[in-house]
Amino acid sequence: MAAPDLVVCRCEEVTLAAIEAALAAGVRDAKELKLATRAGLGICQGRICRRLTETLLKAPPPSPGYLIAGYRLPVRPVLLAELADAAEEAADATDR
């Protein structure tokens, strides 16, 4: 049996007890879990804890078309300046 003070999300220091409390309070999917506990909202964006939180959630998505959790840019932390440079280069290439 896992200890309740086990840290599930290291970046935001969210414990198993906090996640179980959120689930008991009616949280049913990854988005609600993030909003309620911040699990998965840290610097790694759930790359470490995602499997664990999804396992703890167990339940299927509440309604069709409602995703458990999507993936969005960026796939890893990127400097704001690099993001801006990449877009500028892409815009230049289009204009040429």
Partner 1 sequence: MASTEVVVIGGGVIGTAVAYHLSRRGRRVVLCERAGLGTGTSGACDGGVLPLTKQPGRHLQLALQSAELYAGLSDELGYDIEFDRHGCMVVAENEAHLDLLADLTERQRRAGLAVQLLDAAGARELQPHLARQVAGAAFSPGDGQVNPVRLCRGFAAAARRYGAELRLGQAVTGIEVAAGRVRGVYTSGGGIAADLVINCAGVWAPAVAAMAGLSVPIEPVRGQLLVTERVPPLVRGEVLSALYIAAKWRPELITGVARRLRLGLSVSQGRAGNLFIGGCREQVGFDTATTAAALGAIADRARTLLPVLAGLRVIRSFAGLRPTTPDGLPLVGFVPAVEGLCIAAGHGGDGNALAPVTGLLVADLIDGKATPALSAALSPARFAA
Rule CB under 8 A: which residues touch partner 1?
A: 26-29, 31-32, 35, 38, 41-43, 45, 62-63, 66, 72-74, 77-81, 83-88, 90-91
DSSP code, position 42: S
- Tally of CB atoms within 10 A around 35: 12
Q: How far apart, in whole angstroms, are the C-alpha atoms of residue 56 and residue 30?
A: 10
CB closer to partner 1, 8 vs 22 = 22
Smallest distance, partner 1 to C-beta of residue 16, A: 21
Whether the ω angle into residue 74 lies within 30 degrees of 0, i.e. cis, is yes
CB of 36 to partner 1, least distance (A): 8
